[in-house]
């Protein structure tokens, strides 16, 4: 009986292992469909990218990325739940399966792409690191910050770039390292540091949030790094990566073709072959992703094209398109063709 008990126990362990393996192999898209929503990891509150409004509704460029994926998968852009993450929490949250997408103004780097079990699937904002100071400091360039105290978040490319910049320019600085962005900003505003450093978009967001006092702060002209920001998914799940990647590509391609949330219905019968493929009338593009063929129509209708998202989210914080303009208009924003 003891022997039979051991056999039964061994069989149970084996079955459990098989079940665990099957669960581990379940694609993210299948898990997302099963639970009925996309769990999106976002910033805890960065105006323009991801922040809840006064009614608790999340808005921003990164939020629109997640809404677009929900529109593609479910035909309903509202089927998203948001997890606010600090810079140090974000990668673990994606690795562990706590979130399905990390859309948190995160820089795509070689180390992150190869050693963290992540795959970056697009760049939805080309950025660069800078510095903000109070006008009262009477500083006009980052080269004048020798000996300054600088507020910065740990676990970021920002922290590494800061050290590199001062070392390269043979200057000294004292870092004031604080994990939560709100507390970093509060420390800067309270005068605990001479300068605050992060991506230029983050500086613009912080300055715009000061309302009537915004003019008291100067974003220095020096851009000290390349920061290609974009969404990431878990490594090895190609099906899910394709869906997230092509959701973004559709938004860019739609802008280039002049398709907006307002005019998409009137363009459904446009004879342009490219438009016909993009709106799902021809080509079975959706089926190739395991989605309905109206997936792209749902993205454009419910979320809009990239330009619409930029206008409502980024422009209000004072950032013009610049390099994030379409390639056909002098920028570098460019999507592979949907065909």
Instruction: Flag whether pLDDT at 14 surpasses 70.
Output: no
In whole angstroms, how far apart are CA 225 and each of 153, 181, 250, 309?
16, 20, 28, 25
Instruction: Flag whether pLDDT at 229 surpasses 50.
Output: yes
For every residue of 122-161, DSSP letters joined together read --SEEE-EEEEEEGGG---SGGG-TTEEEEE-SSSHHHHH
Q: 80: which strand partners?
A: 38
pLDDT digits (tens, 9 = 90+) for 170-198: 999 999 999 988 999 999 999 999 999 99
Q: How confident is the model at residue 155 (pLDDT cuts 50, 70, 90)?
A: confident
Strands 195-199 and 232-234 turn out to be unpaired
Q: How confident is the model at residue 25 (pLDDT cuts 50, 70, 90)?
A: low
Q: For the chain, how far is it from start to end, CA to CA, in angstroms?
A: 64
Q: Which pLDDT does position 288 carry in this prediction?
A: 95
- State the CB neighbour count (10 A cutoff) for residue 241: 22
Contact (Cβ atoms closer than 8 angstroms) between residue 167 and residue 212: no
C-alpha 281/C-alpha 269 separation (Å) is 8
Residue 173 backbone zone (phi > 0: left; psi -120 to 50: alpha; other: beta)? beta
Burial of 43 by CB count in 10 Å (0-12 exposed, 13-18 middle, 19+ buried)?
Answer: buried
Instruction: Flag whether pLDDT at 20 surpasses 50.
Output: no
Determine the average pLDDT of the residues in 74-83: 98
Q: Which pLDDT does position 151 carry in this prediction?
A: 98
Contact (Cβ atoms closer than 8 angstroms) between residue 95 and residue 116: yes
Mean pLDDT of the chain: 92
Determine the average pLDDT of the residues in 186-212: 96
Q: Which pLDDT does position 26 carry in this prediction?
A: 72
Contact (Cβ atoms closer than 8 angstroms) between residue 32 and residue 237: no
C-alpha 120/C-alpha 124 separation (Å) is 11
Instruction: Flag whether pLDDT at 2 surpasses 90.
Output: no
Enter the tokens of residue 324: 């994030």
In whole angstroms, how far apart are CA 30 and each of 122, 125, 151, 239?
22, 28, 42, 10
All domains of the chain, ordered by start, with CATH? 28-126+229-329 (3.40.190.10), 129-225 (3.40.190.10)
Instruction: Flag whether pLDDT at 24 surpasses 90.
Output: no
Strands 129-134 and 80-85 turn out to be unpaired
Burial of 339 by CB count in 10 Å (0-12 exposed, 13-18 middle, 19+ buried)?
Answer: exposed
pLDDT digits (tens, 9 = 90+) for 270-295: 999 999 999 999 999 999 999 999 99
Those residues with Cβ within 8 angstroms of residue 44's Cβ, 6 or more apart along the chain or in another chain: 84, 85, 86, 180, 181, 182
Q: Which pLDDT does position 304 carry in this prediction?
A: 98
Determine the average pLDDT of the residues in 131-142: 97
Instruction: Flag whether pLDDT at 9 surpasses 50.
Output: no
């Amino acid at each position: 009986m003891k022997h039979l008990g051991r056999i039964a126990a061994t069989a149970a362990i084996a079955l459990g292992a098989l079940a665990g393996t099957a669960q581990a192999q379940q694609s993210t898209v299948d898990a997302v469909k099963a639970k009925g929503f996309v769990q999106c990891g976002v910033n805890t509150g960065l105006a323009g990218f991801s922040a809840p409004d006064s009614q608790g509704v999340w808005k921003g460029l990164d939020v629109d990325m997640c809404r677009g994926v929900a529109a593609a998968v479910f035909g309903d852009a509202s089927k998203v739940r948001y997890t606010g993450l600090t810079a140090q929490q974000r990668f673990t949250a994606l690795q562990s399966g706590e979130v399905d997408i990390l859309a948190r103004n995160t820089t795509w780097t070689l180390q992150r792409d190869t050693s963290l079990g992540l795959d970056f699937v697009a760049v939805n904002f080309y950025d660069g690191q800078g510095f903000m100071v109070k006008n009262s400091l009477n500083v006009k360039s980052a080269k004048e910050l020798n000996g300054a105290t600088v507020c910065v978040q740990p676990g970021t490319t920002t922290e590494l770039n800061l050290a590199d910049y001062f070392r390269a320019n043979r200057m000294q600085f004292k870092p004031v390292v604080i994990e939560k962005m709100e507390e970093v900003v509060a420390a800067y505003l309270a005068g605990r540091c001479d300068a605050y450093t992060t991506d230029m978009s983050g500086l613009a967001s912080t300055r715009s949030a000061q309302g009537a006092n915004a003019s008291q702060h100067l974003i220095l002209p020096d851009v000290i790094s390349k920061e290609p920001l974009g969404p990431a998914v878990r490594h090895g799940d190609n099906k899910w990566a394709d869906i997230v990647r092509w959701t973004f590509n559709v938004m860019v391609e739609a802008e280039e073709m002049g398709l907006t949330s307002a005019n998409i219905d009137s363009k459904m019968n446009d004879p342009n072959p490219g438009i016909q493929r993009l709106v799902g009338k021809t080509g079975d593009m959706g089926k190739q992703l395991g989605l309905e063929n109206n997936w792209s129509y749902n993205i454009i209708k419910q979320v809009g094209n990239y330009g619409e998202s930029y206008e409502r989210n980024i422009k209000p914080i004072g950032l013009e398109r610049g390099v994030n303009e379409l390639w056909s208009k002098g920028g570098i924003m460019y999507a592979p063709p949907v065909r």
